[in-house]
């Protein structure tokens, strides 16, 4: 039972970080109806800036710089590439984001090389003991920070002018534009917010108990994609639920790998995608996604 509780707590904390990344997918989709595949490179960019700057300016200043850098990269992708891609199909724009991600990730992994970069976080390898359950302090901090950011975003989405503009754009972009909503500004801000969320997630994905930032860190962002899909690409609540489901599923499958040997090696890495497939077979719009009306 102690092992199960430990895995469950770790899964929830990792799932909260995945929820931050999934929220970035949702924000961009609601603002532009484009499925964004550049999240891996945004996450890697934010983590790389933090890792390189923390020896020079300290962790907190480096974290702020990494968040700002990822937000700027996201905004530049929208402003310089997607806004100028005169393509009507959202599917084609999604493919464009794949190309952008490949270019950015290739350059960033070239810069990282074979190194494993530490991010200089203040928590180190400290652990907390809750009875028989032992949890890394970074996992607890990740859960608290992710929960605070998600709640803050949900409140901003509901009560601020930016949130109203975002909801209006998601509901009917043409009508929103006629009512004075600047679609370009909404789209730009959505990409910037997604980049900032990716940088925060990168920080928690690369601290203890993981060794640090390396070439494979970008793959973590793609684990959040099933979270966004199974929760519903147009649902902020779905991003939270999907992230928690994926995090807990991955952690439990990896923790009980020896008991699940008959399923093959690496079942923990494949589990999020298996869950996504099952959910989509039962509910194509995701758990909280909006069903598309069908003419019968």
pLDDT of residue 88: 66
Is pLDDT at 67 greater than 90 in this prediction?
yes
pLDDT of residue 293: 47
Q: How confident is the model at residue 99 (pLDDT cuts 50, 70, 90)?
A: very high
Residues 6+ apart with CB under 8 A from 138: 121, 123, 204, 207, 208, 209
Percent of residues, the chain, with pLDDT higher than 90: 26
Is pLDDT at 261 greater than 70 in this prediction?
no
Question: What average pLDDT does this structure show over 72-78?
Answer: 93
Residues 6+ apart with CB under 8 A from 46: 66, 67, 69, 70, 195, 196, 198, 199, 200, 202, 203
Question: What average pLDDT does this structure show over 73-83?
Answer: 90
Q: What is the pLDDT of residues 186-237, one digit of tens each?
A: 889 999 999 999 999 999 989 888 889 988 888 777 778 888 888 888 788 8
3-state per-residue secondary structure call for 210-272: CCCECCCCHHHHHHHHHHHHHHCCCCHHHHHHHHHHHHHHHHHHHHCCCCCHHHCCCHHHHHH
Tokens of 141: 């901090």
pLDDT of residue 101: 92
Is pLDDT at 296 greater than 90 in this prediction?
no
Choice among 149-153, 231-235, 245-249 with the minimum mean pLDDT: 231-235
Q: What is the pLDDT of residues 160-190, one digit of tens each?
A: 888 888 878 877 778 888 888 888 888 899 9
pLDDT of residue 57: 96
pLDDT of residue 295: 42
Question: What average pLDDT does this structure show over 102-127?
Answer: 91
pLDDT of residue 294: 44
Question: What are the phi and psi torsion angles at 286 (to 5°)?
Answer: 90, 170
């Amino acid at each position: 039972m102690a092992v199960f509780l430990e895995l469950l707590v770790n899964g929830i904390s990792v799932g909260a970080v995945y929820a931050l990344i999934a929220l970035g997918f949702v924000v961009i989709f609601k603002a532009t109806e484009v499925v964004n595949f550049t999240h891996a490179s945004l996450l890697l960019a934010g983590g790389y800036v933090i890792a390189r700057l923390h020896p020079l300016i300290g962790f907190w200043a480096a974290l702020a710089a990494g968040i700002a850098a990822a937000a700027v990269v996201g905004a530049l992708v929208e402003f310089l590439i997607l806004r100028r891609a005169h393509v009507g199909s959202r599917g084609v724009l999604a493919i464009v984001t794949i190309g952008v991600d490949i270019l950015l990730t290739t350059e960033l992994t070239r810069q990282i090389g074979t190194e494993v970069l530490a991010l200089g976080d203040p928590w180190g390898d400290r652990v907390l003991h809750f009875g028989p359950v032992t949890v890394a302090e970074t996992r607890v901090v990740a859960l608290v920070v992710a929960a605070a950011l998600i709640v803050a975003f949900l409140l901003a989405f509901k009560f601020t002018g930016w949130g109203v503009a975002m909801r209006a754009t998601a509901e009917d972009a043409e009508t929103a534009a006629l009512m004075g909503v600047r679609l370009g500004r909404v789209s730009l801000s959505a990409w910037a917010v997604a980049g900032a969320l990716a940088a925060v997630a990168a920080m928690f994905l690369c601290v203890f108990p993981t060794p640090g930032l390396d070439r494979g860190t970008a793959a973590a962002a793609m684990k959040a994609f099933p979270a966004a899909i199974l929760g519903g690409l147009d649902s902020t609540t779905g991003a939270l639920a999907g992230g928690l489901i994926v995090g807990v599923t991955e952690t439990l499958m990896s923790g009980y790998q020896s008991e699940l040997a008959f399923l093959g090696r690496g079942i923990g890495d494949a589990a999020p995608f298996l869950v996504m497939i099952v959910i989509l077979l039962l509910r194509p719009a995701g758990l909280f996604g909006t069903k598309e009306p069908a003419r019968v």
